[in-house]
Amino acid sequence: MHPYDHARSSARLHGGRWHDYYACHAWFDATKVIQCRFTHRALRHHREALEEAISVLGPTVRNSDGAEIGVRILGLQHLDEDCGIVPDARDWMVDLDAPDWLPHDTPDATKLAAASAERFGGEAEHYRSLHDWFLATQSWCDGAAHLLFRHHSFGIVEAEARFGPALNIGGDRFVPTRVVAERHVQTILNRVPPAVDALRRIKGARWMLQATSARKLGLD
């Protein structure tokens, strides 16, 4: 469904107007800019993405009736309406056609932060949060496949949205977030792949195609 329809569904469930919920549902569907195919959902349609949504959007949405509605609740609604289930991130990686450029070993965030400080200036602590964010997907699934959730061009743009256009590396000194993020991905993969290179390797499953419709929900 379109974010507009998800938002109308939220308004019916929680009160207020569809406008109150649109930004939340648009965040989950923003990955459609990568490709107009169901696999775009792999990046934000899973339980782990709910935590990211809360970090970006805040814990609640205040609707026009003055009620605070949890972003987690709205996210669960979105996933259920699009997938028929609430998948874990690892579910998207089942039978993945893994690319041969995925690394066998990944440097830890401490070493990556130290390398960033040496290259761009400042201290390692100025970069640690960025590297931690990229590697947080290690707990999402087994093996190097977890890198496909953020280590690509879209992930770099996500990092910039999350950490701002530039990282403060002390006093009035800044370094562009995108530059550091690109260096991170390049270090890990020896390339900066477009996100579609990861998404096209996902093997389709029936639940990935179970999206309901506004008509089925009685909205039209």
Its domain, for residue 133, covers 109-199
Evaluate whether residue 141 is within a structural domain.
yes
Evaluate whether residue 218 is within a structural domain.
no
Same-domain pairing of 80 and 115: no
Coil vs helix vs strand at 55: helix
The per-residue pLDDT for range 95-150, each reduced to its tens digit, is: 999 999 999 888 899 999 999 999 999 999 999 999 999 999 999 998 999 999 99
Instruction: Report pTM.
Output: 0.93
The per-residue pLDDT for range 73-89, each reduced to its tens digit, is: 999 999 999 999 999 99
Same-domain pairing of 81 and 10: yes
Q: From 178, 158, 169, select the one nearest 121 (Cα to Cα).
A: 169
Could you tell me which residues come within 8 angstroms of residue 194 by beta carbon, excluding any fewer than 6 positions away? 34, 152, 153, 154
Q: Taking all residues of the chain, what is their mean pLDDT, rounded to a whole number?
A: 95
Evaluate whether residue 124 is within a structural domain.
yes
Same-domain pairing of 58 and 23: yes
Q: How confident is the model at residue 30 (pLDDT cuts 50, 70, 90)?
A: very high
The one-character DSSP state at 135 is H
Evaluate whether residue 46 is within a structural domain.
yes
Evaluate whether residue 100 is within a structural domain.
no
Evaluate whether residue 135 is within a structural domain.
yes
Evaluate whether residue 215 is within a structural domain.
no
**What is the per-residue pLDDT for 144?**
94
Residue 194 vs residues 5, 27, 76, 197: alpha-carbon distances, Å: 29, 19, 28, 6
Q: Which residues of 121-146 are buried (b: 16+ CB within 10 A; e: fewer)?
A: ebebebbbebbebbbbbeebbeebbb
Same-domain pairing of 66 and 143: no
Evaluate whether residue 219 is within a structural domain.
no
Q: How confident is the model at residue 217 (pLDDT cuts 50, 70, 90)?
A: confident
Rounded to the nearest 5 percent, the helix, strand and coil shares of the chain are: 60, 5, 35
Tell which phi-psi region holds residue 105, choosing left (phi > 0), alpha (psi between -120 and 50) or beta.
Answer: beta
* Count of structural domains within the chain: 2
